[in-house]
A = this chain, B = another copy of it.
Amino acid sequence: MPQPDRPDEFSLIAKVFAPLSAEAPGAFGLTDDAALFAPGEGMEIVLTVDAIVEGVHFLSSDPADSVAQKLLRVNLSDLAAKGATPRGYLLVTSWRADTTLAWIEGFADGLRRDQKTFGIALWGGDTVSTPGPLNFSLTAIGEVPRGKMLRRSGARIGDDLYVSGTIGDGALGLAAAEGRLVGALEDVRSLIDRYRCPQPRTALGSRLVGLASAALDVSDGLMADLGHLCETSGVGARIEASLVPLSPAASRAVDANSSWFGTALTGGDDYELLFAASPANAARIAAVATESGVAVTRIGTVVSREEGVHAVDSQGSPLAFGQLGFKHF
């Protein structure tokens, strides 16, 4: 049933979404049919888009602001992995007749807060009605020095492999949200928060331009995404499992039940950067990690394609990961 408090779509754009465009002159206050952007001298643009559907990618009961923030942040994570500095975004929203104004305002409020965090603005979009589930898509636009965009390809044998932040919180957070992982309340909360609200590494990503030989963001799980990077680069990789950085909450979960370690290395939704770089760049990488305020940890080495993509324990024995975790060969 249509909500009596909800303004029509034209008013919704003017009242709820136009304020999000205030700091982008090329958005024209969302009154025009298009947005304008002039990349800086010597820069080119990077575009990425992701969609989420109610009941598939999020639940009706999820807080509106966190739904909006996750949508925005997974796109910003893609830009970070390309070394691009985010500039703005276009937003498409499909609202049901019974979506309340309060929910829509909560959604916009999540965007408003994140715009400040990441220094971006809403440039434009489209607002439609749907008789079905809520459906959102977001196109994020960034810029990168011409010819310097980071790719999945480019990793060379002998390169170091690094990750930002900590690995596994997303997958353990999902397990905690579903009640499969139990632990101290603060650990459970911390992991669920990491699952719900990724931290795109935009400050780090743009500083890796010229330093990293290949990069991507970990969304399918560390081992799977490492496989993607190696496949595209035509190389293999050896991960030293003991070097993979875990958060305090994830460490305690693994201490309590070691099978969570496999989940951490193979689960998804980390939105950390995984990248390769020549050992000659190690000091500069440490410096940009400090500058950007994001921890960066060396976790392994690029090897030949023939050696495959694998992880070893602290004794150098290979680990195998299955759907239920990992085991020694």
Most buried by B among A44, A49, A84: A49
Residue from the list B48, B55, B126 in contact with A124, Cβ < 8 A: B48
Contact: B128 with A57, CB < 8 Å?
A: yes
The reply to whether A135 and B126 contact each other, CB–CB distance below 8 Å, is no
Does the CB pair A49–B128 fall under 8 Å?
no
**B49–A130 touching, CB < 8 Å:** no
Given that A132-B135, A135-B135 are contacting pairs, would A51 and B124 also be in contact in the complex, using a CB cutoff of 8 Å? no
Given contacts A53-B130, A92-B92, A130-B56, contact A123 B35 (CB under 8 A): no
* A141 contacts partner chain B, Cβ-Cβ < 8 Å: yes
Q: For the complex, what is the distance from the CA of A45 to the CA of B46, rounded to whole Å?
A: 12
Chain A residues 110-150 with CB under 8 Å of chain B are 123-126, 128-133, 135, 137, 139, 141, 144, 146, 149
Interface size class of A (residues with CB under 8 A): 35 or more
Number of this chain's copies in the complex: 2
| Structural contact, B33 and A217, CB atoms closer than 8 A | yes
Docked-complex contact B32 and A151, CB < 8 angstroms: yes
Which of A74-82, A286-294, A314-322 lies at the interface with chain B? A74-82
Check A34 for interface membership: any CB of B closer than 8 A.
yes
Top-10 shortest CB links A-B: A132-B132, A38-B44, A34-B48, A92-B137, A33-B78, A132-B133, A51-B92, A139-B139, A135-B135, A51-B126
Known: A33-B216, A53-B131; 6 extra A-B contacts, CB below 8 A, are: A37-B47, A51-B92, A51-B137, A52-B128, A131-B132, A137-B137
Chosen A-B contacts, 9 in total, with CB atoms closer than 8 Å, are A33-B217, A34-B48, A34-B82, A36-B47, A36-B149, A38-B44, A38-B45, A90-B139, A135-B135
